[in-house]
Amino acid sequence: MTYAHYIAGEWVTDDAVSININPSNIDDIVGEFSRGDAARVDEAVAAANAAQPDWAAASPQLRHDVLEKASNLITSRKDELGRLLSREEGKTLAEGIGETMRAAQVFKFFAGEAIRNVGDAVASIRPGIDVTVEREAVGTIGLITPWNFPIAIPAWKLAPALAYGNAVVMKPAELTPGCAWELAKILHEAGCPTGVFNLVMGPGSTVGARIVEHPGIDAISFTGSVATGNTIAVQCASTGKRVQMEMGGKNPLVVVDDADLDVAVATAINGAFFSTGQRCTASSRLIVTAGIHDAFLEKLTSAAANLIVGDALDAATQIGPVVDQKQLDQNLRYLKLASNEGCDVRGGELANGPGFFMKPAIFAGATNQMTVSREEIFGPMASVIKVADYDEALAVANDTEFGLSAGICTTSLRYASDFRKKAQAGMVMVNLPTAGVDYHVPFGGRKGSSYGPREQGSYAREFYTIVKTSYIAP
Ligand code: ADP
């Protein structure tokens, strides 16, 4: 069976396919997914454009009901979908099921937001005139998603897009189309009207590029690499599309002398290595003050060495495989670079098995100027950077072109509150990993990490709606 695109309420198959492989076991083929082209995008945009006005004009109750039903369907299939997620992406089954439940929560949240889309009534400065400020749907939105959160990221873009009356053309990453395809099926079952949601699968260079350039697309929400995101942002500016970009991170976790050592090590292990380090919020720079540095490094090294790397579907596994050979090759290049730059590399060995298994790696003795401390690696690797004191730690934490998430481990209220104020990041974590966020509050970064309005929670309304000011004289 070939998995089909979902266009205008129909399942449409292409002869060309992308093969979805389980990174834990490369002999296990998850499925063959239709590989679309520009013409498929054109069909999907035409369907979306035709369906969008009625969807926006429909009662918010209808949009609520579709999203709530989608949420319930995801919840009822959480084990199966979580398993599919882990099989196609490689994060552990617990993480896969957790991410699936996150998608369900996001749909439930935005079911409510569809009904809470309030505006303002304002007294005009001119007597006898009423002024209202209301939010309307933007139109047809192109969603371009990455492989590392195959169900949560599609969900947190799709749910607000639909809640506020937009139509959608979505293109998932080629490595992980399975969860996006299941979401299409779920929206179909949930009664999403024909053409409101469309799924076109295939390469970024063709399908993605056509979505970005298509005149029938009003806005693009993208999550992925910095290089691709920056290219898309420029293209959108030249065609007048609104954009929301979530790109990379090089997130600092500061560990101060007064930190609880066990909390700091557990926080670093989770932030740096869970989900195989394949998170834009991963703690990839561990910035440690001199008094606790040696004890922290020693404990971190042994905790990392004890992590169980293996098949994502094995209940004992703590770190699943790297997503594919290309990413593994890139990781190995950074590992070599870390040695060449003078780090004491601990771990990072390839682990045996039929998948892309790699042990977590610690780059001890790193400086913040090294390439391995400046570029996003997207693997289970972290620099440990020794600094004299809190002030230097803060300066090093902010010395990066990124600004997504920043964490600190400390028992001092003074350091915690100073760091909250001065960290140049969209999200700050105190005694918590830089990764791991809630769904009802804004997600996004500063500097090179993000561009455009925030995602998630009620702040998502900023991007997925457009304001209209009306003046009414009786
Ligand atoms: P990664 O390296 O993590 O896969 P990418 O930025 O390459 O990140 O991919 C993120 C998403 O953007 C994927 O769905 C990919 O297919 C898509 N994409 C890649 N190149 C382009 C492009 N030129 N235009 C539009 N989408 C693209």
**Which CATH number covers residue 57?**
3.40.605.10
pLDDT band, residue 316 (cuts 50/70/90): very high
Q: Residue 352 above 90 pLDDT?
A: no
The whole-number pLDDT of residue 474 equals 85
61 phi and psi, to 5 degrees?
-60, -40
User: What's the CA-to-centroid distance between 174 and ligand 1, angstroms?
Assistant: 9
Name the catalytic one among 88, 89, 246, 462.
Answer: 246
Strand partners, 451: 245
Q: Are residues 159 and 278 in the same domain?
A: no
Q: Are residues 285 and 226 in the same domain?
A: no
The whole-number pLDDT of residue 353 equals 85
The whole-number pLDDT of residue 137 equals 98
- Whether 437 is covered by a domain: the verdict is no
Q: Are residues 310 and 214 in the same domain?
A: no
- Whether 338 is covered by a domain: the verdict is yes
Q: Are residues 265 and 183 in the same domain?
A: no
With a pLDDT cut of 70, the percent of the chain lying above it is: 100
Q: Residue 263 above 90 pLDDT?
A: yes
Point out the ligand 1 atom lying closest to the alpha carbon of residue 225.
6
d(CA 90, CA 220): 27
pLDDT band, residue 222 (cuts 50/70/90): very high
Q: Which amino acid is at 391?
A: D
Name the catalytic one among 192, 236, 280, 343.
Answer: 280
Mean pLDDT of 43-59: 98
The whole-number pLDDT of residue 322 equals 98
Instruction: Find out whether 247 and 448 touch, Cβ atoms under 8 Å.
Output: yes
C-alpha gyration radius of the chain = 23
Q: Residue 176 above 90 pLDDT?
A: yes
Ligand 1 pocket, residues with Cβ under 6 angstroms: 144-147, 171, 173-174, 204-205, 208-209, 212, 224-225, 228, 231-232
Q: Are residues 95 and 215 in the same domain?
A: yes
pTM of the shown model: 0.97
User: What's the CA-to-centroid distance between 223 and ligand 1, angstroms?
Assistant: 8
What residue owns the CA closest to ligand 1's atom 15? 204
Q: Are residues 407 and 310 in the same domain?
A: yes
Q: How far is CA 375 from CA 62, 79, 222, 280, in A?
A: 45, 36, 20, 12
Residue pLDDT, tens place only, 223-253? 999 999 999 999 999 999 999 999 999 999 9
Q: Are residues 152 and 16 in the same domain?
A: yes
The whole-number pLDDT of residue 458 equals 95
- Whether 390 is covered by a domain: the verdict is yes
- Whether 442 is covered by a domain: the verdict is no
- Whether 439 is covered by a domain: the verdict is no
With a pLDDT cut of 90, the percent of the chain lying above it is: 98
What's the CATH number where 282 sits? 3.40.309.10
- Whether 443 is covered by a domain: the verdict is no
What residue owns the CA closest to ligand 1's atom 19? 204
Instruction: Find out whether 430 and 269 touch, Cβ atoms under 8 Å.
Output: no
Domain extent, residue 158, equals 2-247+449-472
What residue owns the CA closest to ligand 1's atom 17? 204
Point out the ligand 1 atom lying closest to the alpha carbon of residue 227.
6
Q: What 3-state DSSP class applies to 115?
A: helix
Say whether 246 is catalytic: yes
Pocket residue to mutate for ligand 1, from 144, 201, 220, most atoms within 8 A of Cβ? 144
Q: Are residues 314 and 206 in the same domain?
A: no
The number of distinct structural domains making up the chain is 2
Q: How far is CA 166 from CA 163, 177, 408, in A?
A: 7, 22, 39
The whole-number pLDDT of residue 1 equals 86
Q: Are residues 306 and 397 in the same domain?
A: yes
The whole-number pLDDT of residue 190 equals 98
User: What's the CA-to-centroid distance between 146 and ligand 1, angstroms?
Assistant: 7
Q: Are residues 405 and 419 in the same domain?
A: yes
d(CA 245, CA 260): 36
The whole-number pLDDT of residue 310 equals 97
Q: Are residues 397 and 462 in the same domain?
A: no
Residues near 243 by beta carbon (within 8 Å), at least 6 away in sequence = 219, 220, 221, 222, 232, 233, 236, 237, 451, 452
- Whether 41 is covered by a domain: the verdict is yes
pLDDT band, residue 122 (cuts 50/70/90): very high
Q: Residue 309 above 90 pLDDT?
A: yes
Q: Residue 331 above 90 pLDDT?
A: yes
Say whether 462 is catalytic: no
Residue 4, judged by CB atoms within 10 A of its CB (0-12, 13-18, 19+), counts as middle
User: Order of strands across the sheet with 465-472?
Assistant: 120-123, 130-137, 465-472
The whole-number pLDDT of residue 334 equals 98
Q: Are residues 156 and 293 in the same domain?
A: no
Average pLDDT over the chain reads: 97
The whole-number pLDDT of residue 47 equals 98
- Whether 365 is covered by a domain: the verdict is yes
